[in-house]
Amino acid sequence: MTDTNPEYLAPLQDMHFLLQEMQANTDTNNEDLLFVLEQAARFAERELAPINALGDSQGCTLKDGQVTLPPKMKAAFQSYAQAGWMGLSMPEQWGGQDLPETLAACVGEILTAANHAFSMTPALTMSACRAIMGYGTDELKQTYLSKMIAGTWTGTMCMTESHCGSDLGLIRSSAQPTSDGHYSIKGNKIFISAGSQDASDNIIHLVLARVKDAPKGIKGLSLFLVPAKLQDDSGQWIAPNQVSCIGIEEKMGIHANPTCSMAFEGSTGYLIGKENQGINAMFAMMNEMRLGTAMQGVGLSERSFQKSLSYAKDRTQMRSLSGVKAKDKEADPIIHHPDVRRMLLTQKVFAQGGRALGQFCAQLLDETQQDGSKESQMLLDMLTPIAKGFCTEMGLESASHAIQIHGGHGFVKESGVEQLYRDGRIATLYEGTTGIQALDLLGRKVLGTQGKSLMVFTKMMHTLCKENEDNQQQAALLTELKKYSKQWPELTMQLGGKAMKNPDEVGAASFDYLMYSGYVTLAYFWARMAITSQQLLNSKRDGKQTAKSATVNEEFLKGKIANATFYFERILPRAEAHRLSMMTGWHNLQNI
């Protein structure tokens, strides 16, 4: 690979547009943010993307209870940690850089687009840190946070057991209080990403377990911090803690990140939070992971688009329907074929629309952390399952389009796009499948708040339309968006009425409701991007451009507007099919 044909290029121009034009960062200099972002892009492009296929082919190995990563993956992680990237948005008191979540979301996308398997370990570690910061004792914070944020130690989530999957109330792992005030943890966990590896000196497991006589179900779960290694008598963190990896999964994808079966055999654990309230602390960790997973879906769409676009420009096959385009060649590049362009633009609008949604969620996360805004928290709670469920599903569709654009070459390893699909398939599963996100959205976040959270967002949609009702250039988009701002709450009320008679109506409608919500949510962000782009273009043409708008590429802005039109005309109509499907009800699902 050479610099003239890079494996992946971070979409910095679009990220700059979102950071500079679509939101205001009042506490941090935007130039500083952009500089950090560019350095992250450089690392991902030069260190992570080139080893993505190699890590996939080499995989991880397990011997005598120790997992070994592919050598270049291990070296890349250690370089990443030593450069200080782990603690990008973590508090300074623990060694972090305390930069905004909006920046961290961009960096997270870049990492996963460049190397999905690599990105998982830093993401899990920082989520574990959030749980410790939110619920751990001062002693736990002092002991563990600085080393985890430095990347010397890494973290995991240990929830799932073989018999229960996502039904955490069935967890059997036990925790027995000890005479020294700690707990003895016993049980087996499965599907633990980076549960064992040789890139860090210690691994800090956050384990859900049940204290004796605790209530049944999730109300009886407690969360424990269980290090793989403890301090010995000399103060060195080298004493084994009866934590062992007893197997690694042979998976469909993400081969360079080990998915482990872990055994805790009387391991020393430290309570995080209070007994029987572990699910609260775990969800603090999981909600952040769900937003991170949403950005994995965005990164998958972006990477799929880049691979597809590069191939479509070079690959020649047949002549264009409207006449010869490449007279010096036997056939025309396939980018001239309308159906290929349809797939390329579909990938592009999912990547850029999902990125805008992810940035908005990150902005809400910043607001909730800074001032505890209840409205921001309510909105974030509602948008999180939409972002996680919808963006990962669309990422997978984008990867499927990449295979289709490559034709037979997309089905073989050499092209690299089949790995994108294999790696990306997991994002729709972990941190809660799409079906679970859908139930969470409709059942808890919308109906569970009597529609209050939804009304906050649809009010934003209505306000955008009202404030731009004289905007003739984007009138068609705004007219369509205004229709959905009314229809979405009306559908929700109808579903709520049906659910009062039969709770299964919620489950029957939930997937289509989530997908409908996803298409409409992205429509809002595409309308905003089109309006902003048009305003910047107008200011340039009127000679009134600001210092910021002067740096925005005019071709890029025109492309934004054209892509918004494509989204509204070609993609948003899918919402209507989901509307019709969700309203058919439970009755047609009974005869299997």
Q: Do the beta carbons of residue 306 and residue 420 sit within 8 Å? A: no
Q: Which of 185, 168, 53, 25 is nearest to 114 (CA)?
A: 53
- How much of the chain is helix, strand and coil, in % rounded to 5? 60, 10, 25
Residue 92 tokens, joined: 């300074």
Stated as kind and residue range, the H or E segment containing 153 is: strand 153-158
For residue 287, is it left (φ>0), alpha (ψ between -120 and 50) or beta? alpha
The Cα 457–Cα 463 span in angstroms is 10
Active site residues: 431
* HEC profile of 380-408: HHHHHHHHHHHHHHHHHHHHHHHHHHHHH
* HEC profile of 198-217: CCCCEEEEEEEEEECCCCCH
Q: Sign (positive/negative) of CA torsion 508, 509, 510, 511? A: positive
The Cα 350–Cα 347 span in angstroms is 5
Give the residue carrying structure tokens 């499948």: 433
Backbone phi, psi, residue 31, to 5°: -65, -35
